Amino acid sequence: MLAVALFLALAAQNPGPYQITHMFVLGGDGRWDYVTPDPAHNRVFIARQDRFMVVDERDGKLLGEISGIRGAHGIALVDAAHHGFATWGNDSSVVMFDPATLQVLGRIPAAEDADAIAYDPISNRVFTFNGDAHSSTVIDPGPGRLVTNIPLGGKPETGVSAGDGKVYVNIVDNREVVEIDARTLKVTRRWSTAPCQQPVAMAIDTKHQRLFSGCRSGVLAVSDYAAGRVVATAPIGQGVDGAAFDASTSDVFTSNADGTLTVIHQDGPDQYRVVENLQTAPGGRNMGLDPTTHRLYVVSAKFGPVPAESTAANPRRRPPLVPGSFMMMVVERAATAH
């Protein structure tokens, strides 16, 4: 009932071009991380601390789980190899699984704090981004074999493939974007994201060769990745962790822990304006975009108060989750919502 009431309240106060059209209560224990849609099969993979939930994006039904993972973060699906890859952050490894059955097929060594993950189709390689190890692990997705580890010179977060043989990743502590040549497996360029600080989320517009770095300083930095420099910025919500770009609408999105989804329209490759800060839910900092339906999936939960004694011992302790309240919100353009 709490989730239903929240959904009705959020829907009533949204006058913008996007709205929450559905809210599915998924329940289950554990915090969450990356949200990865699988458009070909109408599914969404959601990292839940010790497992990945696999949810039907149409009705919110739980289709299955990839369990037994300590420190679940990101998923990369490689259709050509019929394999999926999931980062196991607490064990410095990657799990290879069968996307059809969700059965674990093996484990591949990575490096400390294996977090985000991306597939590059040109080189046919999977890249993990290992925060504490300051590196990227490269995997051959056919046999599920470790290829090498690439030093990145700083703490990486989210990365993307440009589809041209280059992979880009945010370096949080150095306020940089790093370019990796996916064929030679070398860092070929890096540039500053200033004035953006702590770049974490990333999305890409391959048509105009633009990267979007969502930064914890409340800024979206837009880079021309052909030139290797920031060309525009825009304000976003606080606590960003997810970003997406929809080429069909020229809209950039960031999902933020303050309970907003910032929508920024691309008027031109170097011109951007905020058109909406959609109210989602506090903690809703992770999302995924299905590029075929153009729906966004934002996840969060209800939070309870932190006990006073816990606050005194650890002022930064996060509030506990209300049991059973974990949910997935579906966001669509108002003109196409149904």
Q: What is the pLDDT of residues 262-315, one digit of tens each?
A: 999 999 999 999 999 999 999 999 999 999 999 999 999 999 887 766 555 666
User: What is the average pLDDT across 113-122?
Assistant: 97
Dist. CA 11–CA 67, nearest whole Å: 34
Q: Which two tokens stand for residue 128?
A: 């993990």
For residue 319, the model assigns a pLDDT of 85
Q: Please say if the pLDDT value at position 171 is more than 70.
A: yes
**Residue 45: half-sphere exposure toward Cβ, Cα within 13 Å:** 26
User: Rg of the chain's alpha carbons, rounded to an integer?
Assistant: 19
For residue 99, the model assigns a pLDDT of 97
User: What is the average pLDDT across 163-186?
Assistant: 98
Listed in sequence order, the residues at least 6 apart from 1 whose beta carbon sits closer than 8 Å to its beta carbon are none
Dist. CA 299–CA 287, nearest whole Å: 6
Dist. CA 331–CA 298, nearest whole Å: 8
Q: Please say if the pLDDT value at position 7 is more than 70.
A: no
Q: Please say if the pLDDT value at position 331 is more than 80.
A: yes
User: What is the average pLDDT across 139-152?
Assistant: 98
For residue 58, the model assigns a pLDDT of 96
For residue 318, the model assigns a pLDDT of 79
Q: Please say if the pLDDT value at position 14 is more than 50.
A: yes
User: What is the average pLDDT across 150-177?
Assistant: 98
User: What is the average pLDDT across 55-59?
Assistant: 97
Reported as type and span, the H/E element at residue 176 is: strand 176-181
- Is-contact 284 292, C-beta < 8 A? no
**Residue 151 pairs with which residues in a beta bridge?**
135
Any idea of the CA torsion for 86, 247, 201, 192, to the nearest 10 degrees? 130
Dist. CA 283–CA 298, nearest whole Å: 10
Q: Which two tokens stand for residue 54?
A: 């696999």
Percentage of the chain modeled with pLDDT above 70: 92
- Is-contact 242 201, C-beta < 8 A? yes
Q: Mean pLDDT across the chain, nearest whole number?
A: 93
pLDDT band of 336, cuts 50, 70, 90: low
Strand ordering across the sheet containing 199-205: 199-205, 210-215, 219-224, 229-235
Tell whether pTM > 0.85.
Answer: yes
pLDDT band of 338, cuts 50, 70, 90: very low
